[in-house]
C-alpha cells in the first residue's frame, strides 16, 4: 500500500506526523499514483469553486457587466483580503448594483495579516467583501439577479441557483449528487462530499472542457485563463495555489481548500491530482505538493528550484531562528 507522510522535525526529533490521502491520474484514464483511498468521501471545500462558478459564467455575466479577468478569477477564489482583491470586488459589485446586505457569507478579518494590520490602523473594519469567499457569493448573487431568481434565499438547498450548481457537479463527476452528501461550508454555502475518484473524474472532464472536448468549454476556458493570467486573484501573495500557478508559468491550474485539500491539473501534460491531509493541517501541503511534483515530474527542474526558493520547508520561530524542518516521504 502506497503512503504519503509529512514529518515535522524539531531539531532531530520527529515532533508531528501527518498522513495524506492522494490520487494522481491522467486524463487518458491511467492511474499514476494512489494511496488507495479512491473510494473515501471527502469535503473538497473551496478547491471546487471553479465548478460552483460555472452557472454564474453561464448567465452571461462576463459580457453583461463587462467583468475583467481579475473579477472573473475572484469568482473562483479564496482571496486573502489584500487591497487589490477588495478593489476589484468593489468595482464588480458597483456594476451590478447589488447590496452588501444580500451577502450571507459573514465577515472576518483579512486572511493576510498585513492587510488586517493596515485595515485597523486606518480606523476601518472588515465587511462582507473581506470574507475569503466573497467572490463566490458575489458570483452567485450576480447570476441570481440576471436569471431573476430570488436573492434572500440564494443559499438554500432547493434554490434554483444551487440546483444549477448540483447539476454541474453531476455532469463533471458523472455521478448524481445525493442528499446524504450535503453539508454546509464555512461561508454558509452548500458543500458536498465526493469520493476522491469522483473528484478525479471531475478534474479530467474540466481538462477536457478547457480543451473544447466537454461541455461548458467557453466558460471553463475563460475562467481558467483568467486565473492563470492573474494568479494572485485565486488566493493571495502567500498562497500555495497562487504561487504554484506563477512558478509553473500557467501550466498548472490548482486550488486549495480548507482542512488540507488541494486539487491540481497540469494543463500541458493532462495530469491531475487530489490531496487531502487526513488531520486537516494545511501547513503540510507545500512540502507534500513539492515532493509529489518532483517524483512524478509534474513540474520542470527549474520550476522545482523556484518552488524551493518560495518555500524551503525550514521552520523558524518568531525570532527568525531556525528550529526544524518539514519533510514528506512517499512509500
For 92-129, the pLDDT digits (tens) are 999 999 999 999 999 999 999 999 999 999 999 999 99
Helices (H), the chain: 49-52, 54-58, 61-64, 69-74, 83-96, 113-121, 134-147, 160-173, 196-210, 217-229, 240-247, 285-295, 301-310
8-state DSSP, 2: -
**Looking at the whole model, is its pTM more than 0.85?**
yes
pLDDT of 220 > 90? The answer is yes
Cα distance between residue 149 and residue 145, in whole Å: 6
Question: Comparing C-alpha atoms, which of 70, 76, 71, 73 is closest to residue 50?
Answer: 76
Supply 316's cell numbers: 523558524
For 39-87, the pLDDT digits (tens) are 999 999 999 999 999 999 999 999 999 999 999 999 999 999 999 999 9
Cα distance between residue 242 and residue 230, in whole Å: 9
Domains and CATH numbers, the chain: 4-290+311-330 (3.40.710)
Q: Band of the pLDDT at 178, cuts 50, 70, 90?
A: confident
Cα distance between residue 296 and residue 243, in whole Å: 19
Residue environment code for 192-216, b if the CB has 16+ CB neighbours within 10 A, otherwise e: bbbbbbbbbbbbbbbbbbbeeebeb
Amino acid at each position: 500500500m502506497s503512503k504519503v507522510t509529512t514529518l515535522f522535525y524539531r531539531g532531530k526529533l520527529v515532533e508531528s506526523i501527518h498522513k495524506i490521502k492522494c490520487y494522481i491520474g491522467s486524463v487518458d484514464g491511467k492511474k499514476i499514483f494512489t494511496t488507495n483511498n479512491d473510494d473515501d468521501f471527502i469535503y473538497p471545500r473551496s478547491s471546487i469553486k471553479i465548478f460552483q462558478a460555472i452557472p454564474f459564467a453561464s448567465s452571461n455575466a462576463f459580457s453583461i457587466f463587462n467583468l475583467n479577468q481579475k473579477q472573473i478569477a475572484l469568482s473562483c477564489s479564496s482571496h486573502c483580503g489584500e487591497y487589490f482583491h477588495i478593489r476589484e470586488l468593489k468595482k464588480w459589485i458597483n456594476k451590478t448594483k447589488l447590496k452588501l446586505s444580500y451577502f450571507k457569507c459573514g465577515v472576518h478579518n483579512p486572511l493576510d495579516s498585513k492587510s488586517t494590520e493596515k485595515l485597523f490602523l486606518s480606523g476601518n473594519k472588515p465587511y462582507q467583501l473581506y470574507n475569503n469567499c466573497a467572490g463566490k457569493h458575489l458570483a452567485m448573487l450576480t447570476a441570481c439577479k440576471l436569471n431573476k431568481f430570488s436573492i434572500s434565499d440564494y443559499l438554500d438547498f432547493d434554490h434554483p441557483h444551487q440546483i444549477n450548481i448540483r447539476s454541474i457537479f453531476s455532469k463533471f463527476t458523472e455521478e448524481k449528487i445525493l442528499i446524504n452528501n450535503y453539508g454546509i461550508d464555512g461561508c454558509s454555502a452548500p458543500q458536498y462530499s465526493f469520493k476522491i475518484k469522483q473528484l478525479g473524474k471531475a478534474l479530467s472532464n474540466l481538462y477536457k472542457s478547457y480543451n473544447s472536448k466537454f461541455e461548458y468549454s467557453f466558460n471553463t476556458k475563460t475562467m481558467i485563463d483568467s486565473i492563470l493570467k492573474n494568479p494572485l486573484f485565486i488566493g493571495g501573495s502567500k498562497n500555495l495555489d497562487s504561487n504554484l500557478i506563477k512558478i509553473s508559468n500557467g501550466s498548472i491550474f490548482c486550488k486549495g481548500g480548507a482542512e488540507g485539500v488541494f486539487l491540481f491539473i497540469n494543463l500541458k501534460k493532462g495530469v491531475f491530482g487530489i490531496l487531502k491531509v487526513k488531520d486537516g493541517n494545511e501547513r503540510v501541503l507545500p512540502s507534500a505538493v513539492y515532493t509529489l511534483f518532483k517524483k512524478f515530474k509534474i513540474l520542470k527542474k527549474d520550476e522545482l528550484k523556484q518552488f524551493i526558493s518560495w518555500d524551503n520547508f525550514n521552520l523558524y520561530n518568531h525570532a527568525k531562528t531556525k528550529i526544524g524542518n518539514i519533510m514528506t516521504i512517499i512509500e
